Amino acid sequence: MNLRIPGPTPCPPDVLAAVAQPMINHRGPEFANVLTTASEGLKWVFGTSSEVFTLTASGTGGLEAAIVNVLSPGDPVLSISIGSFGERFANIAKSYGANVDTYSVEWGKAADPTEVAARLESNPNYKAILVTHNETSTGVTNPLKEIAEVAKPYDCLVIVDAVSSLSSIPCPVEEWGLDVVISGSQKGWMSPPGLAFVWLSEKAWLANESATMPRFYFDLARAKNSLEKGQTPWTPALSVFFALEHAFGLMREEGLESIYERHRKAGELTRSIAIKNGLELFADNDYASNTVTAIKWPENVDGKKISSLARDKFNVVIGGGQAKLQGKIFRIGHLGHFELKEIEDAVLTVVNLLENSTEG
């Protein structure tokens, strides 16, 4: 099966074998060792010397944890939304009573740092900005470094959904001055779904002391206390931890720069094959993502039918469009563990099916 959705992504065979390890005592030294390996790996990839917390949840749980640990009901927040995951992030903040203003960008385009600066200038009281680093629904990567840069003169926290970017494209959290950053195991981390990663800057920890949004399972102060004892507050998804431990071995062997380079090549390859075969990309080319490519279905094509044929006849599974993009685009995931050949095969399978379908 050539699974080419932008998460869950295929896991290397050794990672899958690691999942099959026997259960261990999550309150004993066995797990403390696994947790240490995971934590060291996470710090390395996040580019930080302070702790990254691993929660047993999908990425959305990580987003929720980020919101409830640093904000209070009524806090003014600026949501920068460029697609469906940006909307989700804003909705979580609204659900917990934040006072959310939205800077919405046309889907397919990236946020403009100048516009973010103008919004912060006109409302300097924002407690936080919420921004999606890589918008998986549209295949767009925001200029996060520049957005964080314009936020620097203000007191606001920069809260970043880096679920489909971190570990695949550069996102050095300390160097870029970010405050809360979230990722998820099933995207670029070569691991199964089940773990979310959350990092807080010193400034975010200060905000945590006075933040009053309700929280229990996702209370990061508890996670911090537990981590000091080599534990997590609640029973962790041990099998996914085993996978992650192994995945970090592979990532260290390859090296971060090589991993980023492999993703850059995959992005370029996917876009060039699509264009060469007369397909149109959905994302603004200057901000096209190197982890997922969104491609427009040609006019009058039944995308659902082509996707089913790709799956049933050729074992190629591609992603569809989300929300208002349903039936309008398809998405090719190229993140985590992959060979360039697999990406090429997936795009060419769709291209061939499209050619056959128009021939009649």
Ligand X SMILES: *Cc1c(COP(=O)(O)O)cnc(C)c1O
Closest distance to ligand X from the beta carbon of 161 (Å): 5
Interface with ligand X, residue 90, by CB under 6 A: no
Alpha-carbon radius of gyration of the chain: 20
User: Residue holding tokens 């300097």?
Assistant: 124
Cross-strand partners of 199:
52, 181
Q: Which residue in 65, 60, 82 sits closest to 323, CA to CA? A: 82
Q: 293, 267 in Cβ contact below 8 A?
A: yes
82, 111 Cβ separation under 8 angstroms: yes
The residue from 21, 37, 60, 104 that contacts ligand X (CB under 6 A) is 60
* Whole-Å CA distances, 356 to 36, 115, 203: 53, 45, 57
Q: Does 197 bind ligand X (CB under 6 A)?
A: no
- The secondary structure element, H or E, covering residue 53 is strand 52-56
Instruction: Give 3-state DSSP helix, strand, coil % of the chain, rounded to 5.
Output: 45, 15, 40
Selected binder of ligand X within 11, 90, 144, 163 (CB under 6 A): 163
Is 113 near ligand X (CB under 6 A)?
no
How many positions of this chain bind ligand X (CB under 6 A)?
12
DSSP 90-135: HHHHHHTT-EEEEEE--TTSPPPHHHHHHHHHH-TT-SEEEEESEE
* Contact between 84 and ligand X per CB under 6 A: no
Closest separation in Å from C-beta 293 to ligand X: 14
Q: Give CA separation, 13 vs 123, 247, 267, 339, in Å.
A: 51, 10, 24, 14
Does residue 183 bind ligand X (CB under 6 A)? no
- Binding-site member from 46, 53, 85, 126 for ligand X (CB under 6 A): 85
Nearer to ligand X, 148 or 354 (CB): 148
Residue closer to ligand X by CB (options 61, 230) is 61
Q: Which stretch binds ligand X (CB under 6 A): 27-35, 98-106, 156-164, 234-242?
A: 156-164
Identify the residue among 58, 138, 270, 322 touching ligand X (CB under 6 A): 58
Stretch that binds ligand X, among 159-167, 226-234, 257-265, 276-284 (CB under 6 A): 159-167
CB of 193 to ligand X, least distance (A): 6
Between helix 113-122 and helix 144-151 the angle, nearest 10°, is 20
**Does residue number 59 form part of the binding site for ligand X (CB under 6 A)?**
yes
**Interacting span for ligand X (CB under 6 A) from 55-63, 203-211, 275-283, 313-321:** 55-63
Q: Of all residues in this chain, which one has the CB nearest to ligand X in the complex?
A: 59
Residues that bind ligand X (CB under 6 A): 7, 58-60, 85, 132, 136, 161, 163-164, 184, 187
